[in-house]
Structure formats: structure tokens, C-alpha cells
Amino acid sequence: MNSNEAKKRIEELRNLVEYHAKRYYDDDSPEISDFEYDMLMVELRNLEKEFPEFSSSDSLTQKVGGHVKKGFKEVVHEVPLQSLQDIFDFDELIEFDKRVKKQSQELDKPTKYVVETKIDGLSAALKYENGILVEGATRGNGLVGEDVTENLKTIKTIPQKLKEPLNITVRGEVFISKSDFEKMNEERSLNEEPLFANARNAAAGSLRQLDSKITASRPLDIYIFNVQKIEGREFNSHYEELLFLDDLGFNVNPVKILCNTVEEAIGAIKKIGEDREKLTFGIDGAVVKVDNLSLREDLGSTAKTPRWAIAYKYPPEKKETILKDIICQVGRTGVITPMAILEPVSVAGSTISKTTLHNEDFIKEKDLRIGDTVVIQKAGDVIPEIVEVKKEKRTGKELPFQMPTTCPVCGAEALREEGEAAIRCMGIECPAKLLRNIIHFVSKEGMDIDGLGENLVEQFIEKGLIENIADIYSLTFEDIASLKKNGTKFANNLVNAIQDSKNRPLYKLITALGIRHIGTKSAKTIAKYYKTMENLMNAKIEELATLDDVGQIMAESIYEFFNQDQTIDLITKLRNAGVNMKEEQEEETDQRFLGLTFVLTGSLDNYTREEAGEIIEKFGGKVSSSVSKKTNYVLAGEEAGSKLTKAQELGVTIITEEQFNKMIKE
């Protein structure tokens, strides 16, 4: 490679690693594996070494990635939280040992190493004054991090008070255990939320929440691995420090092996690699540290990394196995997800027998067939994934897979809407969707049944008291009271709330049914036009599409929904239970806002936005979510935002809540 080619490639690599570092450190949402990122860094480091004329202090080979997230206060680290130089073979470790020994022999200082697991998490510093935790911060760029004190205080294994009243700053790694991570992703999968790519990013995203209640709800843990600064104590060795931290009450990294030689260190790294499956937490390598603290000072550091420590990175393990079958699972919102059933194979220390295939497009892209030989890898050493199909091993007996056209749980029609990757079950009575459907049905936006929360619904389902939405109206006082100790008053209130909900306006019922793309606003338009549920069920797509607030996609969704056998069955049950199926006759003839469009922004003193909107609509007006030249009034409350600014720019009339009150009382 000549000089010009090297310069061009170095610039490309710097842009690439900057982009992926931002995705990893700042966004907690990586697009490539750790190994792929490491290989980009290795190539960049080697080119900068070969062509030193193109080296730069701005390169990520010379500095730590990561920035302070907006919303957090900055914390300047008294002692920098540096990163480690990565190596990928034992020859590089032997070279590291030679450099250390050269200095140690000149100074006549003993050379020992401590080998520790490189925990796959987010680095943090904890500062204690007189033994009390006063500050916690993320690493950030190594020099400046984010103040996450309140979030760190939610982690149960972080002591709020030490056994001794010391002034000390320690460094640790915040992580989520393998089992907790799998549970989190299983829950997210059921809720059809995006899965966390790996445990590290799940931990980082959880710790860097602006709301500490969210952090508290996540199963975070921490292992302490270093003393950054301490007053009134001196130590000779790192291993001695770790034992002291353990005695102080810290949750110290459990894997810490004292080695007399580099050969022992290599043996320790190999042993950790063999035992990875036994660890309860994820690792992406092993760290080799000089034990002698005085020698560490002599060795010093670069701007980015200490010269007294190095990280051995384990390569991602890949294994071949057979794709025995593909089955489909139905999530809580009806998304049908294909799942690979595999010939069991051990990968990165655990037995893999199944993995998600995401969606129909993933199967087509990989050209996956039942019976194929496939290559399995664990992303982030946690999530198993199919990375390759060995097409050269095909025998001709492999079978192509087609996604189902009906739901595998309830038999209802399964559809893939234009522009979406997911195929969904359309059945409203599908058992897989039951909990989510009922939670939406009883919500404030739906039938507004106060007191019927998710936990209670789950109990009713578990006891077999609710098998479909209409069963809500069959619940008795005894059914409800049996679930709560001294629940007489609660049961009375809930029975009354259920009875009251039968008289809700038709638009509330339409909203409660959870028709795809249909919200409160469009439900009101539909109810006003069709007057009865029967008329709506017989509506044609062409007619629906002509209504205000209802376009072609929404019209098709409504038509498909009401032409499902399960929908017809549910509506019949609800009608038999006495639920209102007609739009109330409008008693209010005052149409003072007819032809006027309002936009609501900010918070009002006497109304919610929904209540103010209902008043406007009652008087014939229309409520829009965005400001345009066609907007007549912007009703601005406190902390009004960009809508107010846009109204001012367009010259739209802005009214206060007081002016609004006058308009509706005149």
C-alpha cells in the first residue's frame, strides 16, 4: 500500500470507528459486533504505526470514545478512567511481558500479574467521603463523565455506607447477568419491543436513564475492580487492594488470579475461556494487570491506555449445526415471529437449540431452508444468531419455508401490511393477544374501567375467569373480592365501574377494540358518521376512505377487522352483555366553532387537552395536532413549545385559557 492509499484508508477507518463508537458508547445501540469493531481498530492502529506521518491525537486509537449525554451534569474525574489496549493472540501478550520486564529489571522490582475477567458492561466511578457515597459517574471520555449518582444508588450491590469512614474513589463495571438479560429480552420479545443487542448495551442504556425509576426497574449489578484514589492508606499490590475492597463491603470482581509469570497468566486466560459458560455474567476477554503498584507508576500511561495493563479479547465462537425446523410464535400484539429449531450445539459455553429468525425478510435474505447446515454465533456472547448458511452442503432434500397465512394459535387470518416486515394475527380473540387486548380495552382511552389494572387482569386470566374481552362483563362481586384481602369495597367499586362502562359512547368502544391505526380522533369521526356498530360493520372500504381523519390504509384496516369471524363473535357477546352500540344523539345544537380548527399546546389549569378538545368538538370545531396556515386558533397553556413558535411565525391567532373560557361561556 502506497502513502496515498494509506492516507485514504486511514481516513475511511477513522470515520467508521467514530461512527460505530458513537453507536456503542453514546447511543447504546451498536450496529456491528464487538469483534468487527475491534478488527477495524486493529487495522487503523497498524496503519497509523506503519505510516506515522498520518497519526493524529484525534484518532480513537489515541483517545477514549464516549460523550456526556444531554441532560446529565458533567463530572471531571480526579483520576482518568482509561481504556485498555486490546490484543488477540498470546504472542502480543508475551511482547507486553517483555516490555514490563525490561523496566522492572532495570528498577529491580518484582513482576507479578493479576488476571481478571473483562466484564461486558459500563465502567463507572464511585466516590465516598467519610465512608458515605456522594457521587457516581460514568467513564464518558475518560476525563469527563456523566453524573449518575441517583441511578447508581438504585443498584443493591453498591454500598451507600462503607464499613470504615474513608475518603475513597473506586472503579467498577455495571452489568446485567446472563439470566437477567435473557429474561429482559424474553419480556421485550413478548411485548414486541426491540431486543437489546447485548447485555453491555442493556446495562449502559439502563444506567444512563434520566429517570432513576427506570434504572431501578432494571436488574443492574456491579463488580468493583480498582482503587482510583484513597486517603490515609497505602498499598503495595493490586491484589492486596482487591482484598481490602472486599473487606470494605464492595462487590469485587470474583475472578482475580495472581500469577508469577506470563506463562501462568496465559494459563489463567485459557482457564477463564474454558469456564466462561459457568460464569453468571458476560465477559468479552481477560485483563492482565501488573500487580506491583510502584512498578505501575514507573510504567506510566499513554493519553488513552495504561502501559501496565492489557486486555486479551476472546474471538467469537462459531459452530455448525442443522436447522431442523422453523416454528412460529405469536407475541402479545399479534406479531408472528419465526423461530429456528436447531440440532443442539454448544456455542461460547452454552447449549443452543433454538433462536429467533426475526421475520420473513430475514429468512429470504439468508435463503434459509429446513434441513440446512447453518453457522451459529452468539452475539455479544449472549444472543444466539444464524450468521451463515452452508449452501454447498445441501443435498436437495432441504425444504423452503413459507410464513403462515393464518395465526398458529387461533387460526385467524394473518396479514403483512405494506411497508412492514411483521406479519400479524388479525384475531381479536386470539389467546396470545388476550392480556394486551384487555389492557387496551379497559384503558382510559378505551372503555375507561377504573380499577381494572394489568395485575388484576393477569389474575383473572390465570384463574380462567376471563378468556375473552366480553368476559369482563361476566365478572361477579365474588370473583373480584376473592382476589383481594378485605376486598369488599374494592369489589363493589369495580363492579360499578364495569356496569358504568356499558354506557360509554360508541367512539369509546371503537377505540377500545384496538383496530390497527384507529385512535380516538378517527373513532369519533367514524361513530359520528355511522351512528351504530351495525352500520360500521357493514361499511365498505371506498366509503370509509372518504371520511375526514380516515385514509385508505385505515379504511382497509377497519374493513379487514370487521370481516373476521372472531370480531363478529366478540361484538355479539358485547351486545348481549348490554354494551352500548349506538352513538348518542347530540343534544347540543350550538355549533359556534363550526368550520374552525384549533391546536392545543402546553398544560392548562382547568382542563386536560382531551377535555378541552371534547368541548371544541361539541361546539362543532375541529382539533388538529399540527399548526398550519389553515389553523384558526392555537390554545396555549403553560410551557407551550414549538407549536406556539410556529403559530407566531405563521400569524395564527393565539388564545389563552382565560380567552378560551370566555369563548365557550358566551
C-alpha cell at 431: 389467546
Over 450-505, what HEC string results? CCCCHHHHHHHHHCCCCCCHHHHHHCCHHHHHCCCCCCHHHHHHHHHHHHHHCCCC
Q: Give strand pairing partners of 383.
A: 379
Q: How many helices (H) and strands (E) does the chain have?
A: 24, 24
Q: How far is CA 628 from CA 599, 612, 640, in A?
A: 9, 20, 16
Q: What is the number of residues in the chain?
A: 666
**From CA 78, how far away is CA 143, in angstroms rounded?**
8
**From CA 250, how far away is CA 242, in angstroms rounded?**
9
**From CA 665, how far away is CA 660, in angstroms rounded?**
9
Which residue type occupies 629? K
- Catalytic residue chosen out of the listed positions 8, 22, 112, 118: 118
Q: How far is CA 201 from CA 33, 143, 209, 379, 636, in A?
A: 12, 21, 12, 12, 40
**From CA 41, how far away is CA 38, in angstroms rounded?**
5
Residue partners of 241: CB distance under 8 A and separation at least 6: 226, 227, 235, 293
**From CA 206, how far away is CA 122, in angstroms rounded?**
10
Name which of 356, 352, 364, 355 is nearest 336 in CA terms: 356
The owner of cell 392480556 is 435
- For residues 231 and 214, the answer to whether their CB atoms sit within 8 Å is no
C-alpha cell at 371: 434441513
- For residues 531 and 582, the answer to whether their CB atoms sit within 8 Å is yes
**From CA 327, how far away is CA 338, in angstroms rounded?**
6
Per the annotation, the verdict on 118 as an active-site residue is yes
| E-strand stretches of 179-282 | 221-230, 256-259
Residue partners of 646: CB distance under 8 A and separation at least 6: 627
- For residues 88 and 313, the answer to whether their CB atoms sit within 8 Å is yes
**From CA 541, how far away is CA 548, in angstroms rounded?**
14
- For residues 185 and 379, the answer to whether their CB atoms sit within 8 Å is no
| CB atoms inside a 10 Å sphere around CB 181 | 24
Residue partners of 59: CB distance under 8 A and separation at least 6: 14, 44, 48
Helix (H) or strand (E) holding 506: helix 506-512
Residue partners of 606: CB distance under 8 A and separation at least 6: 657, 661
Write phi, then psi, for 128 (nearest 5 degrees): -120, 135
Active-site residue numbers?
118
